[in-house]
Structure 1
Amino acid sequence: MVEGSRLLGGFDPDAGRNQHDANAPQRIPLPSLLRSLLSEHLDPGYAAAAAARRDGAGRPRAVEWGWQVAAALAVAAVFGIAAAQAQTAAPVTREAQQVLAGSVRAAEATDDQLTAQRNELTAQVAAERRSRLEGDALGRRLLGELDVADVAAAATPVIGPGLTVTVTDPGMSKDLSDVSKQRVAGSRQVILDRDLQLVVNSLWVSGAEAVAVGGVRIGPNVTIRQAGGGILVDNQPISSPYVLQVIGPPNTMADTFDRSTGLQRLRLLETSYGVGVSVSAADALSLPAGSVREVNFARQIGP
């Protein structure tokens, strides 16, 4: 093969050319790459793979099967150990749950007992204070001012006409597209603390004189907060249905509350999630006194 053949990919430029016949047609030589594409249809990689299989044909397949069986046994052993540990830990877990549940019930009973004792002592202090101050004009004036302050601080039980707003959480709804934004992820709860806060504020704007949520009186130091999947009012858990009792002029409050952002919010949740919302008037509602905490520092805001 001449040197020039390497320029054409290793194919002899004179290959196929007739050297004896005068004026015979000349054939154009093809480069080796194009020739291989037209004549050799099998990729060289297949031949290399076949050769590698031939070289490894002598290795016993029992070794490969052995490794696969060992891996399967290891996986089965891991799952077996995990199942055994779960069965062993199940009684301990149930016992721990029972202990925690008992502790919670005992704490709730103690809290109820202390609350009743506090209310009794408060009533005794109020009675003693009134008996001592009713003897003269200055004392009666002080008692009047204290009564006004107690009503503003929700420190006294009240009875009167008003409204009852009942909000029922339906749990999981058919459509969970969250038009109200940021429901609790993975929870069946729809009503959140900010919903009740907005409703309570709307009731105050509507002319409420006293408000209780879930039987807990709303006062200056009372908060409505989310705690995981539950709602706390003054650190006391409440659950659905959420009952809001409001004392005030029923007709005036109903008209104003019907146009408030709080009720509009509830109607949106009702349409989107199936939340139950009902507003009814009542002739005589009884609201308990709220908890009063000592305020050490206070500053007036506004006039």
Structure 2
Amino acid sequence: MREREHETPHGETPYSPTSLLRALTADPYSVDTLRKDEHPAAEAAPPDNRLMRGVTLLLALALGFVVAVSVLDLRHESSAEGNPRALLEQEVLETRAEAEQLERHQSELEGQIADAQGVILDGSDAGASARLAAYEQAGGGVSLSGSGTVLELQDSAPLPSSPGGGAGTVNRVTDGDLQIAVNGLWAAGAEAISLNGQRLTATTAIRTAGSAVLVDFRPLSPPYRITALGDTEQLRTGVLEEETGDYLTDISTRYGIRMSWEDGDELTVPARAVGTLREASVLDDETHEAPDTPPTPSSTQHSTAGNGVEEETP
């Protein structure tokens, strides 16, 4: 066993765990000078020469090459056509293209049905087609275009947070805010209204589920653009000078809800979604009354005058 050399006054070697603190508190003149060539581990260190430097450089280059190859291989696998993410993205694109094609085909079929329906109605009653068009317009069955205004409601900007905290809270536009704004536009004389591309009628429901606003069970995302057709000045004045305007100003001032108006001469509101036909029966031509069978409590009947068909929708 190798004998300890150059011990400190307390008996430890200069490189023992406790020797440093003891050496700092001891008399520096009583500790022998330490020489690097007398360190016990100095003999085990590799020699520092040109050959060892070359070997170290080669090992570093080899390690870097291996890392680069691994990174490129991982990128290739992540971008390969057969990986699950790429397959899912391709499936989404194909499904979206198929849905757009079906929508175009549906529009073509609806146009053909409308033309055939007009021919049949005009053949039996000269004014039936015009009356049906008026009923469809009143019920939101057709898209409308014209001048009007767009009321946009948007969530507040992130509020200031406490020092050292995270991002501030955001005040959200609620379904109640949208209901009040829409009712105010109806009261101001709007002829037709849509919310983020969804047509609003007398039976439309604006609800919330969690943090999402639903219009007839279709989720919407902010900003919420309420498009109203009618006289622009009358719509604005009718909203801002009534209780609706006071409410919108209050939520804008107190909660930071952002509100803006935008007028337009060529605004468009789409037709409402077509309901599913559950049951149909022929009306009496003389009385235009439905059969004696009463409707179920869970259904609502909608009758279109002149076409002799009564439909029940959920």
Aligned equivalents of 1:96, 1:261: Cα separation in 2: 54
Aligned residues: 196
Q: Which amino acid aligns with 2:229?
A: I
Aligned equivalents of 1:142, 1:281: Cα separation in 2: 36
- From the CA coordinates, give the structure whose radius of gyration is larger: 1
Residue 254 in structure 1 maps to residue 266 in structure 2:
no
Matched, 1:128 2:116: yes
Q: TM-score, normalised by structure 1?
A: 0.54
Q: Name which of structure 1's ranges 197-206 and 282-291 shifts more when overlaid on structure 2.
A: 282-291
Query: Contact (CA 8 Å) 2:145, 2:268: kept in 1 or not?
Result: yes
Q: Which residue of 2 aligns with 1:242?
A: 224
**How far apart are the structure 1 equivalents of 2:171 and 2:260?**
19
Q: Alignment partner for residue 195 of structure 1, among 157, 174, 177? A: 177
Q: Is the 8 A contact 1:162 1:285 kept in 2?
A: yes
Instruction: Tell me the residue number matched to 1:164.
Output: 150
Structure 2 residue runs without a partner (length 5+)? 1-82, 162-167, 280-298, 303-314
Matches within 5 A, 1:1-303: 115-135=103-123, 138=125, 140-174=126-160, 188-293=170-275, 297-298=299-300
* Structure 1 gap ranges (5+): 1-94, 176-185
**CA contact 1:221–1:293 (8 Å) conserved in 2:** no
- 1:117 deviates by 4.4
CA distance in 2, matches of 1:271, 1:209: 30
What is the CA distance between 1:155 and its match in structure 2? 0.8
Q: Which residue number in structure 2 is paired with residue 7 of structure 1?
A: none
Partner residue in 2 for 1:61? none
C-alpha contact (below 8 Å) 2:148/2:230 kept by paired residues: yes
- Judging changes above 3 Å, is the alpha-carbon distance between structure 1 residues 273 and 153 closer, same or farther for their aligned structure 2 residues? same
In structure 2, how many angstroms separate the alpha carbons of the residues matched to 1:230 and 1:143?
40
- Provide the alpha-carbon RMSD of the alignment: 3.4
Q: Secondary structure at the match of 1:240?
A: coil
**Cα 1:293/1:251, change in 2 over 3 Å:** same
- Whichever residue aligns with residue 246 of structure 1, its letter is A
Secondary structure of 1:134's counterpart equals: helix
Q: Write the distance in 2 (CA, Å) between the matches of 1:120 and 1:192.
A: 37
- Displacement of 1:272: 1.4
Displacement of 1:166 in angstroms is 1.1
Higher helix share: 1
Taking structure 2 as the reference length, what is the TM-score of the superposition?
A: 0.52
Offset at 1:135?
3.9
Please state which structure has a larger fraction of its residues in strand: 2
